[in-house]
Structure 1
Amino acid sequence: MDRETLDAYCRKQLGCTYDYQVDWECDRYHVGGKMFAMIGGDAKGKDILTVKCDPARADELREIYEGIVPGYHMNKTHWNSIYFDADIPDGLWERLIVHSHELVLEKLPKKVQAQLQILE
């Protein structure tokens, strides 16, 4: 997978806002002020996408795919990092971004959720 494709897919999620975190050298994607995805690098500078994930699903994905690991610099229970060179189906990238976005969105106050739906 490549950075431009992932960036475009993250940005098209409902209510997405973007910023660049200089200290971490990463692109961050938020909904309602809460991060749902991050594109950056690991300690060796290897490109990764980090997304929030249901804990049971996160463990399952890590067991199935070698390129999916506990979230780099994140809560290892709730976040996964996926190496760009991971051997995973293309559609899985998109589904994991959507899943992360939905997890964050559903935790936002109902008023914020309603405002985002109106903007859609």
Structure 2
Amino acid sequence: MDVEAAKHYLLSKPLTALDFPFGKEVSVFKVKGKMFATLSLGKMGKNQDETSQDWWMNLKCDPDEAAILRDIFPSVIPGYHMNKALWNTVILDGTIPQGEIERMIDNSFQLVVNKMTKKDQASILIHL
């Protein structure tokens, strides 16, 4: 999955907005004001290796599933600058199938929505 496909898929989620609270280098995707994903070139826009142009996406994840995904995919690592138990960083280097990344995005979105009030949940779920 390339970065444009990732952005498009993230923004296709109901009531999703793009924000830049950490600076223009880090795209933050929120549903009803709650973050469910970040996207940046390298480490939060601070790519250490100038030759690497991989995009990094942070996604919320169930703690057990987070550990399993890290074991399966070398390009899934503990969430960079996030709670490592609840977030994974997915390096968009082409090694993870697009459908799997979309599933991870869907799960992140749903985990955030599940923590909202019933009223907010209903206003989002009506669009699904």
TM over 0.5: yes
1:100 pairs with 2:108:
yes
The Cα of 1:85 is off from its aligned counterpart by 0.6
The gaps in structure 2 that reach 5 residues or longer are: 49-53
How many residue pairs get matched? 119
Counterpart position of 2:80: 72
1:58 pairs with 2:61:
no
Counterpart position of 1:89: 97
The Cα of 1:86 is off from its aligned counterpart by 4.8
The normalised TM-score by structure 2 is 0.85
The gaps in structure 1 that reach 5 residues or longer are: none
Flag the 1:24–1:72 CA change in 2: closer, same or farther, 3 A: farther
Instruction: Among all aligned residue pairs of Structure 1 and Structure 2, give the percentage whose two residues are the same amino acid.
Output: 39
Confirm or deny: 8 A CA contact 2:27 2:38 kept in the other structure.
yes
The Cα of 1:18 is off from its aligned counterpart by 1.2
The Cα of 1:47 is off from its aligned counterpart by 1.7
Counterpart position of 2:4: 4
The Cα of 1:95 is off from its aligned counterpart by 0.3
CA displacement 1:47-104 (0-9 Å, x = unmatched): 2011000000000000111000000111000000011115111210100000000000
RMSD: 1.6
The Cα of 1:21 is off from its aligned counterpart by 3.3
The normalised TM-score by structure 1 is 0.90
What CA distance in whole angstroms lies between the structure 2 residues aligned with 1:7 and 1:76?
A: 23
Structure showing the higher helix proportion among its residues: 1
Confirm or deny: 8 A CA contact 1:67 1:86 kept in the other structure.
no
Flag the 1:63–1:86 CA change in 2: closer, same or farther, 3 A: farther
Structure 1 runs (4+) deviating above 4 angstroms are: none
